[in-house]
Amino acid sequence: MSLEDELLKQRLCRIREIQALGYRPYGGRFDITHAIPEILAGFGAKTADELVPQVGVRIAGRVMTKRLMGKAGFAHLQQNGERLQIYVKRDAVGERDFELFQILDHGDIVGVEGYLFRTRTGELSVHAEKLEFLSKTLLAMPEKWHGLEDVETRYRQRYLDLIANPEVRKVFVTRARIIASLRRQLESRGFVEVETPMMQPIYGGAAARPFVTHHNTLDIDLYLRIAPELYLKRLVVGGLERVYEINRNFRNEGLSKKNNPEFTMLEFYQAYTDYQGLMDFSAELLEQVCRDVTGSAEVEFEGHKLDFSRFRRYSMREAVMEFWEGPNRPRPEEVCHPDWLLHHSDKLTPGEALTDIFERHAEAKLIQPTIIYDYPVESSPLSKNKPEDPAFVERFEIYAAGMEVGNAYTELNDPQEQRRRFEMQLAMRDRGDEEAHQMDGDYVRALAYGMPPTGGEGIGIDRITMIFTGSRTIRDVILFPLLRPEGPIDLIDRLREYDQP
RNA sequence: GGGCGCGUAGCUCAAUUGGCAGAGCAAGUGACUCUUAAUCACUAGGUUGAAGGUUCGAUUCCUUCCGCGCUCACCA
């Protein structure tokens, strides 16, 4: 019999002992007067004298440590990532509660009624007068000193990660604050939050391979969306002139430190502005997120201090010249010249070559928050051309920590030009490009009713969360990142074996 | 999908050139009414990810498979 098996049997026995003492092993409602973090915040600075007269409290939490010394003992209860000590003395709680305390295991969840005091060593603690049992753990907690290190277990059993590693909880609280900051800022500027289809008959708005699913009643294949873009712009046509969505996109592509197949995007559209207007707005938006989350306009990421109060701005051509690696740094006339571009890339068109060169030379060096603007038309079928240079579009991307975190452009609102762009994409698709856009007839029809001049932008929530939480991998900012399925969980068989009604 | 690396007790980690698989925490028993990584004494716990091979002998070397990580490709 394995040790784990032995432990499970012991714990199942404990359930009967708990019942024999008159407690429910999986208890019910327990009204608390304070959450543990509230007690620490409200009373953490009070001296022993200031805790007189007695401050009565009812608290609840998970037993994380326990020190039993004959007829008294201490334990730390954890709630919402913070710990408070309780002192349980037989003379104070009575025989029955003390017997319960003696058989508590690490990981059990209990309620405690008592009063606040300071121990001889000065730690704020609850002097217990009554215990209630709330929930039994059947499995061993991770090691109390080192926590849970195994990355696979951390991702597969995130609940254990959250119990054992308080800093993990902070990452996800910060993620929620980032999203709240964005919502607050957008709402204050009159943006309306909407939800558009996740399941789409035609996928568009980005270049990516989709996931396919099937609807039985209609007997049609549907795609999980790769972007909400084309639906949000339909709404701008309909008069929702400031509109946004924060939701999941799905792309059937490889996994990496920066990519998870499902990820969260903010997309917003604002009528009557253009990409220049959005550059200023983006810088304000992200600086405010940084201030809301860190308290300043700077955040530390892998040894760099990223300053969100000063966005740098380069055109893509300027960036190639500025960040060129090696000798023969190109001159302005070279980065504009098709022959030079095609000579320095194996791509087939000057525009694709410029993008390729930019990605190879510059992208990883864009550590400080940076805006790169003016993209070649080839990779941007939904953006408006630059009037003075139709080979380029009014588009920019936001980089920070060497990652692309945002993408924005002046929206193409000419239906005739949009039809031509879609047909170019169809030609690329015929040549085998799976990621080329499909023709979206209804989207062109919507544009044909007239869409106001509009700027639109997408910001990768997971990636900015990485930056604002100092996370090296996207898996550390997604609660349940995609892993290969685990196979049968043998706990189920063992529970069945030991099941006694 | 390619390359490289890792997988040892529930958890965190050791194990010399291929030579009896170990420690701390967690668990069990006992002592202890201000401890805090509680302490002290004793006890138990392993198909070294799986299968095969080389060898007198494999955690260690080889092959295949499984899982994870890094990286490249794909992709923002």
Q: What is the pLDDT of residue A3?
A: 67
Q: Is the pLDDT of residue A381 over 70?
A: yes
pLDDT digit string, tens, across residues A28-41: 999 999 999 999 99
The band of A70, judged by pLDDT with boundaries at 50, 70 and 90, is: very high
SS3 at position A143? coil
- The predicted model gives A129-158 an average pLDDT of 93
A105 CA, B30 C1': Å apart: 18
pLDDT at A493 over 90: no
Tokens 């405690």 belong to A112
Q: Are A106 and A66 in contact (CB under 8 A)?
A: yes
Measured CA to C1', the nucleotide nearest A372 is: B76
Give the pLDDT mean for A2-12.
84
Contacts from A280-286 at CB under 8 Å and sequence distance 24+?
A: A281/A457, A282/A311, A282/A371, A282/A398, A282/A406, A282/A408, A282/A457, A282/A459, A283/A308, A283/A311, A283/A369, A283/A371, A285/A182, A285/A185, A285/A459, A286/A311, A286/A369, A286/A398, A286/A459, A286/A464
Instruction: State whether the Cα torsion A99-A100-A105-A106 is positive or negative.
Output: negative
Q: Which nucleotide has the shortest C1'-to-CA distance from A460?
A: B76
Question: B50 C1' – A156 CA distance, angstroms?
Answer: 21
Q: What pLDDT, in 10s, does the model give residues A144-174? A: 888 899 999 999 999 999 999 999 999 999 9
Nucleotide nearest to A72 (CA to C1'): B33
CA A168 to chain centre: 12
| Tokens of residue A392, six digits | 């380029």
Find out whether A486 and A156 touch, Cβ atoms under 8 Å.
yes
Q: Using the structure, give the distance in angstroms from the CA atom of A150 to the C1' atom of B58, rounded to a whole number.
A: 26
**Region class of A384: left (phi > 0), else alpha (psi between -120 and 50), else beta:** beta
pLDDT at A2: 66
Among all protein residues, pick the one whose CA is nearest to the C1' atom of B6: A150
Nucleotides of B under 7 A from a protein CB: 1, 9-13, 24-28, 31-39, 44-47, 66-76
> Considering Cα of A128, then A134, then A138, then A144, what sign does the dihedral take?
negative
> How many CA within 13 A on the CB side of residue A374?
18
Reference A413, options A376, A380, A450; nearest CA is: A450
Output the distance from A140 CA to B7 C1' rounded to whole Å: 21
Residue A4's pLDDT band, with cuts at 50, 70 and 90, is: confident
Q: Mean pLDDT for chain A?
A: 94
First and final C-alpha spacing in chain A: 23
Flag whether the pTM goes above 0.90.
yes
What pLDDT is attached to residue A199? 96
Q: How far is the CA of A358 from the C1' of B35 (A)?
A: 61
Asked if the model's pLDDT at residue A485 lies above 90, the reply is no
Nearest-angstrom CA–CA distance, A318 and A340: 15
pLDDT at residue A435, rounded to an integer: 84
Q: Specify the pLDDT at position A247.
A: 96
Beta strands in A82-229 (DSSP E): 82-89, 109-118, 124-135, 192-193, 199-200, 212-215, 220-224
How many Å does it take to go from CA A1 to C1' B56? 32
Find which nucleotide's C1' atom is closest to A404's CA.
B76
Eight-state DSSP code of residue A469 = H
SS (H, E, C) A344-398: CCCCCCHHHHHHHHHHHHCHHHCCCCEEEEEEEHHHCCCECEECCEEEEEEEEEE
pLDDT in tens, A304-356: 999 999 999 999 999 999 998 888 889 999 999 999 999 988 888 899 899 99
Can you give the pLDDT at residue A349? 87
The separation, in Å, between residue A268 CA and nucleotide B32 C1' comes to: 65
Is-contact A282 A406, C-beta < 8 A? yes
The conformation of residue A96, written as its DSSP 8-state character, comes to: H
Nucleotide nearest to A258 (CA to C1'): B76
- Cβ atoms A133, A99 nearer than 8 A: no
CA of A76: nucleotide with nearest C1': B36
Nearest protein residue to nucleotide B40, judged by CA and C1' positions = A69
Tell me the nt nearest to A120, Cα to C1'.
Answer: B34
A488 beta partners: none
Q: Which pLDDT does position A32 carry in this prediction?
A: 98
Three-state DSSP at A22 gives coil
Report CA(A118)–C1'(B34) in Å, whole number.
10
Answer yes or no: is pLDDT of A13 > 80.
Answer: yes
- CA A75, C1' B46: Å apart? 32
Question: How many angstroms separate the CA atoms of A458 and A268, rounded?
Answer: 7
What residues form DSSP beta bridges with A79? A82
**Per-residue pLDDT, A428:** 85
Name the percent of chain A lying above pLDDT 90. Answer: 84
Give pLDDT, residue A345: 87
